[in-house]
């Protein structure tokens, strides 16, 4: 059902602070529809902790998950700014420009930037 996909949020990140994030591609088995989602939280010490939480949730909904890479997000809700940077040792660097486009859909009034800086 497309309704489940519509209800699922493209972005789930902590409301404040600097934390790890991953870019995940969801796909219906055998091709079909796909979409990329952003997940990030301070609760995750490592990038794979985020993936290990997302993967079973999405499999229940009938999606195959592939991590496209990771990095860090700095979320300043007071100034309405988000900065995307860094990389994941295990998954490699996500395409931060893709991440920014996804974030812009959710945080429409934010200034959102990215760089390849490590910190």
- Annotated binding site: which residue ranges? 20
Q: Taking Cα atoms as reference points, which of 83, 52, 55, 86 lies closest to residue 69?
A: 86
Q: Look up 47 and say whether it is catalytic.
A: yes
Q: Given 47, 49, 75, 96, which residue is catalytic? A: 47
Two tokens, residue 4: 């489940």
Binding residues for substrate: 20
Which residues belong to the active site? 47
């Amino acid at each position: 059902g497309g309704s489940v996909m519509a209800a699922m949020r493209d972005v789930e990140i902590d409301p404040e602070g600097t934390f790890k994030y991953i870019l995940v591609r969801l796909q219906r088995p055998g091709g079909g529809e796909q979409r990329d989602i952003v997940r990030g939280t301070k609760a995750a010490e490592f990038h794979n902790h985020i993936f290990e939480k997302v993967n079973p949730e999405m499999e229940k909904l009938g999606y195959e998950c592939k991590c496209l890479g990771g990095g860090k997000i700095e979320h300043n809700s007071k100034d309405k700014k988000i900065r995307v940077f860094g990389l994941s040792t295990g998954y490699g660097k996500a395409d931060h420009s893709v991440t920014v486009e996804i974030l812009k859909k959710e945080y429409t009034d934010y200034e959102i930037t990215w760089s390849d800086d490590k910190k």
